Chains A and B, each alone.
Chain A
Amino acid sequence: MTEAELRKIVLDTLGDIAPEADLAAVPPDSDLREELDIDSMDFLNFVIALHEKLGVDIPEADYPQLVTVDRAVGYLMERSGPRSG
């Protein structure tokens, strides 16, 4: 899966959790919890949706690696890389 495809999946997933957010205006390196006012329940839903869409297991200890769009894409690239190729 390409970086652009993963980015689209991350943004679509966030759009589902925060439908009122203007995701185009969210800096890709800013903390999503602050930027989108996401709490732990939303964040868990975000992790679950990524897990279901990509089949990637995301342990709780790795949650801090998903707090920005850029970091989430990087993390998912790494974790889903071996599967796609």
Chain B
Amino acid sequence: MPSLGADMEAGTLVEWLKKPGDAVKRGDVVAVVETQKGAIEIEIFEAGVLERILVQPGEQVPVGTPLATLRTNGATPGPSALPQNVTGPAKAPLELVPAKRPPETPPPEAAGEITPPLEERRPEIAALETGGGVHLHASPAARRRAAELGLDLADVRGTGTEGAITLADIEAAARARTGREPSRRAPRTGFDPGQMRKAIAAAMARSKREIPHYYLTHTVELRHALTWLEAANRERPPTERLLPAALFLKATSLALRKVPELNGFWEKDALRPEAGIHVGWAIALRGGGLVAPAIHEADAQPLPDLMAALRDLVHRARSGGLRSSELANPTATVTSLGERGAETVIGVIYPPQVAIVGFGRIVERPWTIDGALAVRPLVSISLAADHRASDGHRGSLLLAEIERLLQEPEAL
């Protein structure tokens, strides 16, 4: 069970998407795990053959528990081990052990109160056995509803993006099966708000208990950036249009290169700067809750790619389907409130990170230019940083660099 953030203690295996004997390659999604942050797709980072499944659907296990054994390419059949690294952004979510430990199937009551009894998961197990490991993409809300109704996901035709099974598909399949309207329930979100609240509470309480924050704010004028953006978007089809958020993300990522003590982790009384800039993008979930999955190497991506990555990430965060590598410790966080947010946001650092940059809503306000007043679009940018790792002078450099970069959007 990989650690998907410092605040995660346990996860529940929901579904295996590969079965023993299946060949897997780096990046394949092999399983779905339910955490306090919702259903997360678990990727594998080594090629090989899935040998044995150790944790069955419905089981809740602590972080660090091996989920399966993998026979890596080139190895003889039998036990193999993979170096365990749950802190890196892209390493070893599927943890491996020598295969001598027998697979255990604890009684359903061991699965804990947030896990439906094993029997309710039977349709999904059956789907896996008959489906030959075909990846059934379904939103967590759809999965829950299917489990409630005892529906086999393999029997449901998905009409969502790339054939994903949506809540509406489940309801339609249930109607087709029974010939009547399924019992109405309140719409459910793809995560348990109570559990997510607990995860946020734990992380934020730890942050405020352990991290001596310092705070800086800076107002940046955006007229040129927004004019450039509007002109660029006029010539682009919707799929290639940019939002100001993409400029904010790119500018912050590039600025972090210049102030490396704000990009990394505080561990064992020392700063561990990270070479890669993997920006956690804070996404508010409807119905309450927050996740901040990583956009990897954000500083190296051209704006259109970054924008596509952002759209995809926000969509998956809100409909289910975040991946393990995205939750495994981003190196710094950006929170951008968007057009309906407040004017200023001053963040709380997500431990063990050492900085969070906040962008408020873009607002039109009076602004002086050469001694005269003008009305200009402005954004309030803030930095909350760990004073153990950096000082206000270095923090100011970051904000000044973001401002400089936002004045030259064509160079981003």
Q: Show the binding face of A for B, using Cβ within 8 Å.
A: 12, 15-22, 33, 36-37, 39-42, 44-45, 47-49, 51-52, 57-60
Which chain A residues border B161 with CB–CB below 8 Å?
Answer: 16, 49
Q: Which of B160-196 contact A (CB under 8 A)?
A: 160-161, 164, 166-168, 186-190
Q: Please choose the segment from B123-131, B235-243, B269-277 that sits at the chain A interface, where 4 or more of its residues have CB less than 8 A away.
A: B235-243
Are B238 and A51 in touch, CB under 8 angstroms?
A: yes
Q: Complex: how many Å from CA A60 to CA B244?
A: 13
A19 vs B188: C-alpha distance in the bound complex, in angstroms? 9
The reply to whether A45 and B234 form a contact with Cβ atoms under 8 Å apart is no
CB<8 Å pairs between A and B, sample of 19: A12-B168, A17-B319, A19-B141, A19-B167, A19-B190, A19-B319, A20-B167, A20-B190, A20-B286, A40-B339, A41-B311, A42-B314, A44-B243, A45-B314, A45-B315, A49-B161, A51-B239, A58-B238, A60-B230
* Inter-subunit contact A18/B311 (CB<8 Å): no
How distant is the Cα of A16 from the Cα of B161 in the complex, in angstroms? Answer: 7
> Within the complex, which residue of B141, B164, B238, B320 is in contact with A44, where a contact is CB–CB below 8 Å?
B238
User: How many angstroms between the C-alpha atoms of A18 and B164 in the bound complex?
Assistant: 14
Q: How far is the CB of B310 from chain A (nearest CB, A)?
A: 7
Number of interface residues of B (CB under 8 A): 37
**How many angstroms from the CA of A34 to the CA of B239 in the assembled complex?**
24
CB contacts (< 8 Å) of A20 on chain B: these are: 141, 167, 187-190, 286-287
Contacts of A18 in B (CB 8 A): 286, 318
B367 to chain A, nearest CB (A): 23
Q: How far is the CA of A58 from the CA of B237 in the complex (A)?
A: 8
Residue among A16, A41, A47, A48 with the highest chain B CB neighbour number at 10 A = A41
Question: Which of B166, B319, B339 has most chain A Cβ within 10 Å?
Answer: B319
* Chain A: minimal CB distance from B384 (Å): 22
Are A21 and B311 in contact (CB-based, < 8 A)? no
Closest A residue to B142 using CB positions = A19
Task: Judge whether A41 and B314 touch: CB under 8 Å.
Answer: yes
Interface residues of B in 190-226 (CB under 8 A from A): 190
Residues of chain B contacted by A36 (CB below 8 angstroms)? 286
* B69 in the interface (beta carbon within 8 A): no
Residue of A whose beta carbon sits closest to that of B287: A20
Residues of A within 8 A of B318 (CB): 17-19, 42
Q: Are the CB atoms of B314 and A19 closer together than 8 Å?
A: no
List the B side residues contacting A51 at CB < 8 Å: 237-239
Contact A21 B187 (CB under 8 A): yes
Instruction: From A15, A44, A45, A60, give the contact of B168 (CB < 8 A).
Output: A15
> Given the complex, which residues of B lie within 8 Å of A12, measured CB to CB?
159, 168
- Shortest beta-carbon distance from B38 to chain A in Å: 11
Is B315 a contact partner of A39 (Cβ separation < 8 A)? Answer: no
Please give the distance in Å from A11's CB to the nearest CB on chain B: 9
Q: How distant is B86 from chain A, measured CB to nearest CB, in Å?
A: 29
With A and B bound together, what is the CA distance between A37 and B318 in angstroms? 11
Residue B3 at the chain A interface, CB threshold 8 Å = no
* B319 CB, min distance to chain A CBs, angstroms: 5
Measured between alpha carbons, how far is A14 from B139 in the docked complex, in Å? 14
Please pick, from B168, B230, B287, B310, the residue contacting A41 in the complex, using a CB distance under 8 A.
B310
Residue B338 CB within 8 A of the other chain: yes
Distance to closest chain B CB from A26 (angstroms): 11
Q: Which residues of A contact B189 (CB under 8 A)?
A: 20
Is B234 touching A19 in the complex (CB atoms < 8 A)? no
| Nearest 8 CB-CB pairings of A with B | A20-B189, A22-B187, A51-B238, A41-B314, A48-B238, A19-B139, A39-B338, A37-B286
Chain A, residue nearest B320 (CB): A19
